[in-house]
Amino acid sequence: MFVPNRNIPYSRQLIEEDDIQAVSEVLKSDYLTQGPMVDSFEKTLAEYTGAKYAVAFATGTAALHAAYFAAGIQPGDEVITSPITFAATANAALYLGASPVFVDIEPETGNIDSARIEEKITPKTRLIAPVHYSGHPVDLDPIHEIAKKYNLIVVEDASHAIGAAYKGKRIGALSDMTTFSFHPVKPITTGEGGAALTDNPDFYSRLRLFSSHGITKDPTLLQDKNQGTWYYEMLHLGYNFRITDIQCALGVSQMKKLDRFIRERRELVSRYQEAFKDDDRLIIPFEKDYAFSSWHLVASRLEGDFVSKRKAIFEALRDKKIFVQVHYIPAYWQPYYQSLGYARGICPQAEKFYEAEISLPVFQGMISGEVDYVIDTVKQLLTL
Ligand SMILES: Cc1ncc(COP(=O)(O)O)c(C=O)c1O
């Protein structure tokens, strides 16, 4: 019987010699930040996705915050999103004084249920932020139709979904803006990091300004054009959300491997799908016909009586070195959101989904013995 010689996490980075080499070259160079690697990484992201512009950020959260700012979100506005997401998707609305409005999910994918969006639209709604949960693309066409009908901006939170595709087109250039996260559990990593992509030059200009204090030296944007070359102006209240050259060198190097990483993830997921396809105790998700998933997560769902045993199964897996995780506690269940007056029960499918979910390990560099070990161990525990 295979015995794992390390903890098997739900996801993790794969760093190889060439990644280390790329970072070490920057460390020996003139620029640790605001140098050429940031530009290179942004170009790589734009080329890969087909977006006209990419702005790299210190985190995926900063990229979301900037995208909502670029969209013109103001105090009092409403931003529609899904509760099955990391808090940041909703928090970015709060940072700008806007209110997140949660729309329930479709259980099969964990993604926002587009059929339920219209009932949540009010005169204050400005933006829809669909989240490609687990890396499985949201069905975007109906969302784009609704956005057009009500004149709303769409920002895809693609934190899980770099390398995924919707109807044959890569995620990144399909809506007004798209954001990525490069946290180590994501398909590629820069340590911490994120990016916002767009085809729209106005959004691009605002994303760029927001990433660095709202300050510009761009002569076309300056109000006073008669100063010296030292001169700059602060046009908005931005932040220091800049990413470093050190991180971007890692990003460029990792981008060369993205398709390989996604291939590996997809191969691992197909092993889980095969192993559990006739098992009515645990559901492993499959792709919809419009989707090519990056499978950031294997968001499995317990069925029947096993739902109430989730905690015991979770702990037992961890005891056996399988570091599963649960994604996500519905965002509005968080005490902070409760303190803002969000009631429990507003998205029943999301709540049911949360109660049954366990994210099984999937990551580039996961070895065959490890996936077999996870499958065997889960099957054993499901007999309890
Ligand atoms: C769906 C989603 N949105 C936003 C974020 C925020 O990204 P970051 O951790 O890079 O700030 C994450 C990352 O955990 C995420 O999973």
Segment 329-353, tens digit of pLDDT: 999 999 999 999 999 999 999 999 9
Nearest CA-CA partner of 196 in 59, 377, 16, 9 = 59
**Confidence check: pLDDT of 1 > 90:** no
**Confidence check: pLDDT of 3 > 90:** no
User: What are the chain's domains?
Assistant: 17-255 (3.40.640.10), 258-381 (3.90.1150.10)
**Confidence check: pLDDT of 27 > 90:** yes
| Residue 320 CA to ligand 1 centre (angstroms) | 28
> Helix, strand or coil for residue 300?
strand
**Confidence check: pLDDT of 209 > 80:** yes
| Residue 181 CA to ligand 1 centre (angstroms) | 6
Which atom of ligand 1 approaches the CA of 61 most closely? 11
Structure confidence at residue 23 as a pLDDT band (50, 70, 90)? very high
pLDDT exceeding 90 applies to what percent of the chain? 98
Please name the residues in contact with 146: beta carbons below 8 A apart, sequence gap of 6 or more.
114, 117, 118, 121, 128, 152
| Residue 218 CA to ligand 1 centre (angstroms) | 31
**Confidence check: pLDDT of 210 > 90:** yes
Per-residue confidence (pLDDT) for residue 256, from 0 to 100:
98
State the residue for tokens 């499985």. Answer: 136
Average pLDDT, stretch 50-54? 98
Tell me the two tokens of residue 176: 């007004």
d(CA 162, CA 301): 24
Q: Whose CA is nearest to atom 7 of ligand 1?
A: 60
Nearest CA-CA partner of 381 in 290, 295, 318, 288 = 318
Residues 348, 354, 355, 356, Cα dihedral to 10°: 110
**Confidence check: pLDDT of 301 > 90:** yes
Instruction: Compute how many other C-beta atoms are within 10 angstroms of the C-beta atom of residue 219.
Output: 9
Mean pLDDT (the chain, rounded): 97
**Confidence check: pLDDT of 2 > 90:** no
pLDDT exceeding 70 applies to what percent of the chain? 100
Q: Encode pLDDT of 85-132 as tens digits.
A: 999 999 999 999 999 999 999 999 999 999 999 999 999 999 999 999
- 296-325 burial, b at 16+ Cβ within 10 Å, e below that, comes to bbbbbbbeeebeebbeebbebbeebbbbbb
**Confidence check: pLDDT of 384 > 80:** no
Helix (H), strand (E) at residue 351: helix 348-356
> Helix, strand or coil for residue 357?
strand
d(CA 320, CA 380): 12
Tell me the two tokens of residue 148: 């057009």
Measured between its terminal Cα atoms, the distance across the chain in Å is: 20
d(CA 81, CA 187): 22
d(CA 88, CA 102): 13
Which residues on neighbouring strands pair with residue 102, listed in sequence order? 81
Average pLDDT, stretch 257-267? 98
Structure confidence at residue 26 as a pLDDT band (50, 70, 90)? very high
Ligand 1 lining (C-beta closer than 6 Å): 59-61, 64, 85-86, 88-89, 131, 157, 159-160, 181, 183, 194
Per-residue confidence (pLDDT) for residue 103, from 0 to 100:
98
| CB 46 within 8 Å of CB 161 | no
| CB 50 within 8 Å of CB 175 | no
